[in-house]
Amino acid sequence: MFEDEARLEEERKWIAACRTGNRKAFAKIYHRFAGEIFASIILPRVGNRAVAEDLLLETFRTVWEQLHTYNDRGKSIFFWIARIAANKTYDQLRVDRRFRRWATDVTAMWSSGHAALEQTDADLGAMDLLQRKELSAQVRETLQQLSPRYREAIRLRFLECKSRQDCAHDLAISLGTFDVLLLRALRSFRDLWVVRNQPTE
C-alpha cells in the first residue's frame, strides 16, 4: 500500500511543496495518513478518543515543524509519521501513569478539604474556624485563577457533587472529553496551589 512507486513520487511532490510552506500540500499528506495513524497506532494504545484526537493533532504539528529533517530513503513518509505518533503516544502514557497517581491524591485532598469547609461553626474551635476561613479563601482565590471552563468542571464535579456523566451532559461534551478536561483542571489547580503555598525564604 505504502510502497507503490507512483504514490511515493506523489508524496515527494507534496513534501517538496510543504517545505516551501504550502499548507494545501500538507493537507493532502494529512488526509492520506491521518486515519490510519489514528486507528492503528494512537487510539488502540490510549483507549480514550478525546486524548487520541489531541495526540493526532500533536503528531501532525510535529510533522509540519520537522518536515525539513525528513529523508524518505525510498519509503513512504507514513513510517516516519507513525514513529512520531508512537513516540508521542508512549510519552502520553508515561505522563498518564504519573498523572493518575497524583490526580488521585489531589482529588482526595480536594474532597477532604471541601468536607472540612462544610463543617458548621458550632463544630469548630476558634483556631479551627480561623483556619477553615483561610483555607476557604485560598481555595476560592485559586479557583478564580483558573480558566472558566476548568473552574466549571471542578465546580460541577466537587462543589455540586455531580456524577461524571451528569457533568459531561451539563457541559455538552462526551464523558471521555470531560474526564480529560477535569484532569487538566485539577492539574492546573494543583500547580497554582503549589506556587501559592510555597514557603517564602
In 10 A of CB 161, how many CB atoms?
10
- Residue 31: the pLDDT is 96
Domain count, the chain: 2
Domain holding 188, by residue range, is 119-196
At residue 71, the 3 state secondary structure works out as: coil
- Residue 103: the pLDDT is 54
pLDDT by 10s per residue, the chain, length 201: 556 788 899 999 999 999 999 999 999 999 999 999 999 999 998 887 877 888 898 899 999 999 999 998 888 999 999 999 999 888 777 756 655 555 555 555 555 555 544 444 444 455 455 555 666 677 778 888 999 999 999 888 877 878 888 888 999 988 778 888 888 888 888 888 777 766 555
Q: What angle do CA 189, 192, 196 make, to 5 degrees?
A: 135
- Domain-located, residue 45: yes
- Domain-located, residue 107: no
For the entire predicted model, the pTM comes to 0.54
- Domain-located, residue 103: no
- Residue 76: the pLDDT is 92
Residue with cell 498523572: 99
- Domain-located, residue 86: yes
How is residue 71 written as a grid cell? 529523508
- Domain-located, residue 127: yes
- Domain-located, residue 182: yes
Can you give the CATH number for the domain in which 139 is found?
A: 1.10.10.10
- Domain-located, residue 70: yes
Same structural domain, 138 and 58: no
Same structural domain, 141 and 71: no
Q: What is the DSSP string of 26-50?
A: HHHHHHHHHHHHIIIIIHHHH--HH
AA identity, residue 35:
G
- Domain-located, residue 105: no
Same structural domain, 144 and 85: no
Can you give the CATH number for the domain in which 69 is found?
A: 1.10.1740.10
